[in-house]
Structure 1
């Protein structure tokens, strides 16, 4: 595979959030081989494709439950714990394994059309979920949901994902599209001892551990009373120290943030879901200032209710500004990096989230034939980034490549018929109501 994409603007999402003009992105065997101005580009023997507008890395969704497209809109006006107990868990109890594939397939289609090429999913029936991702051509870090409830003991769930990793490896599939991980739900569902044992399994295999932490003030009162905070509980239980992703993490103390920084814990910031469920607003700026890796997550499409990471970036920036009363607290460039490079760092993946040599060629093309860019592409770098983040978002995502393979063309997925995927979800949803 040899492909050169040439565009008026390329956003490699390096730490400085540079804007490259009249630039190329070279793809060789699914990975980025070169990024830079066309005038400085090496000779290239492969296909050269001219695109208008902007090229940027595929967005990285650090926390999702995408099969929940099947329950989108249920209990939409309930607070978190009632929403779970009265709407979500009863509906999920009716799910069949094949339903997970149906839901994930449409979720993957929706994300790809929104420029999201990678998602970290915590859910059940991993074989079905992974099959849907491979069909769509996207990328996933599947976290096998591990819970300890009546009829759902935690140890068999843990043993199942351990056996899968030991059999197939941590990453597999075309261009390593699949990564397996552990998904212990939370400290209020699992005991500290169970959490510690799951973490040991993950660390032994270099696997990511995904866990919900401090999403709402009410969920973990007993854990905070016994340990002071959930991060302190996780540290005492030996959960921290490997690759750990703390989802939501809205209600953290300064000490909690220091614990996370000490152990290299990543945070999945989910502003859309957290505001819709009135769970609170995470102090994002303080996390970043402490050196904690932060990415953005949509959470489930039944609590958000979309899979739009551009929208999460806007919300993250807006909420950071208004909670600090500082219009400089989060720039457009900062928010874009959260959705790309920051998300990859939070997941412990240095092969995603940026257009840099050696990383996977997950690329998004944003068309600029839009009123948002009427001021022209010769505007300043800051103005162009502002127009992309504040005024454009997903509506101008035109083409998407994963490992250099085109999976969205002219706004529609190339591998999956969107209308058929929507019809499949519609049939399952009738049974869940």
Structure 2
């Protein structure tokens, strides 16, 4: 059914990061937004009106995650990236069963929804398990299926599997178009060069997203950099660029690399929490933004962050940008809020999520303001309100979440699944892996 939400503050996350006071948002029977704006200028009200006491904003977009790794959380947490991967994570992943991946994804999806993250961009394996888990929770998924050349994995078969999925179901499917399929070549250092060429060709032919790790740590791709000059230069020469491409991390980039990304329309998924925990470095966020590169925020996997709370990455993105440039104005509250919403959608090449605008999916979050951070109430200047929301509140006050117009979190709890059961199932997988 169609209905209206009314709130004292609505943040549509338009490019100006406007603050709408005493505003309403209409959701049509398809689950899309019909009107958003001041209540005084709203069209005739639908029969059902729900009053929200706090702030309405778009669902957050997690631009880079490996959420099934909730079952690996806490393993090898004090190792640098390459040792962590080779000695702990990849051996543990080799013991995962398809159902384990589903259990981990469902726990991750519930965790993200409770934090107001409605869309996650996943790079992982066993896509049917990813899609099933997300459809169960009611969230939205961009499933970029992992493609890697490693013992036990056949990259050509993995590539063919993504081709077949898209050719059969289209890029987007499911209720509310909740599932999008794309390509997830792991990195330049885990695939032969001709594989990257093939991925680029297949993705462009289908208009699909390519999601790849790029320049995450200083030593991961020495062979590739010696031959091609840099990983962005390598990807350009091999023909991977030119379509919808999302580079995860992109920490160690030169001026020329940033120019290559900007010219080719490559977007970046910035993962400040994971980059800091693994001591990978601080991405050149201000320079990327100045070059016009689309940027979204990502949590990375819950075994390397170690949570899926994008609000934390908002604050870290701002703080590390300020610290690395010694400029306290490098990134403000409005800037990072847009990176986590509209910016994430733009990084994915999507114009149907990430903002509260007519025609977009009604993916939105209600933040309760009964909190010390809002002791002065909502009748404060716009900049002050945004600062309180981003810097002082975060995910702990997320009360309700809607995806495609359906309330999937109510009073802080998922409406479609039993959280205790979801946690129990994932925990059983972790205990088995620990004992193995």
Shorter-chain TM-score range? over 0.9
Question: Does residue 118 of structure 1 match 2:155?
Answer: no
User: C-alpha offsets along residues 145-165 of structure 1, whole Å, 9 cap, x if unaligned?
Assistant: 000113312100000111111
What CA RMSD, in Å, does the superposition of the two structures yield over aligned residues? 0.6
1:339 aligned residue: 340
User: C-alpha offsets along residues 93-152 of structure 1, whole Å, 9 cap, x if unaligned?
Assistant: 110011111000000000000000000000000001100000000000001100011331
CA distance in 2, matches of 1:346, 1:241: 14
How far did 1:356 drift?
Answer: 0.4
CA distance in 2, matches of 1:337, 1:228: 33
1:36 aligned residue: 37
Alignment of 1:66-77 (within 5 A): 66-77=67-78
Does structure 2 retain, via aligned residues, the 8 Å contact 1:3–1:404? no
CA distance in 2, matches of 1:58, 1:337: 11
Does structure 1 retain, via aligned residues, the 8 Å contact 2:310–2:340? yes
1:3 aligned residue: 3
How far did 1:86 drift?
Answer: 1.0
User: C-alpha offsets along residues 296-347 of structure 1, whole Å, 9 cap, x if unaligned?
Assistant: 0000000000000011000000000111111111010000000000000000
CA distance in 1, matches of 2:319, 2:151: 41
CA distance in 2, matches of 1:152, 1:413: 35
Does structure 1 retain, via aligned residues, the 8 Å contact 2:4–2:46? no
1:322 aligned residue: 323
How far did 1:430 drift?
Answer: 1.2
Alignment of 1:162-181 (within 5 A): 162-181=163-182
1:363 aligned residue: 364
Does structure 2 retain, via aligned residues, the 8 Å contact 1:58–1:340? yes
2:63 aligned residue: 62
1:102 aligned residue: 103
CA distance in 2, matches of 1:38, 1:419: 39
Does structure 2 retain, via aligned residues, the 8 Å contact 1:265–1:292? yes
Alignment of 1:116-195 (within 5 A): 116-195=117-196
Q: Secondary structure at the match of 1:275?
A: helix
How far did 1:45 drift?
Answer: 2.4
User: C-alpha offsets along residues 222-251 of structure 1, whole Å, 9 cap, x if unaligned?
Assistant: 111111100000000000000000000000
How far did 1:192 drift?
Answer: 1.7
1:17 aligned residue: 17
Q: TM-score, normalised by structure 2?
A: 0.99
Does structure 2 retain, via aligned residues, the 8 Å contact 1:27–1:34? yes
Q: Which runs of 4+ in 1 moved over 6 A?
A: none
CA distance in 2, matches of 1:149, 1:417: 37
CA distance in 2, matches of 1:104, 1:151: 22
Q: TM-score, normalised by structure 1?
A: 0.99
Gaps of 5+ in 1: none
Gaps of 5+ in 2: none
User: C-alpha offsets along residues 266-295 of structure 1, whole Å, 9 cap, x if unaligned?
Assistant: 100000000000000001011001000000
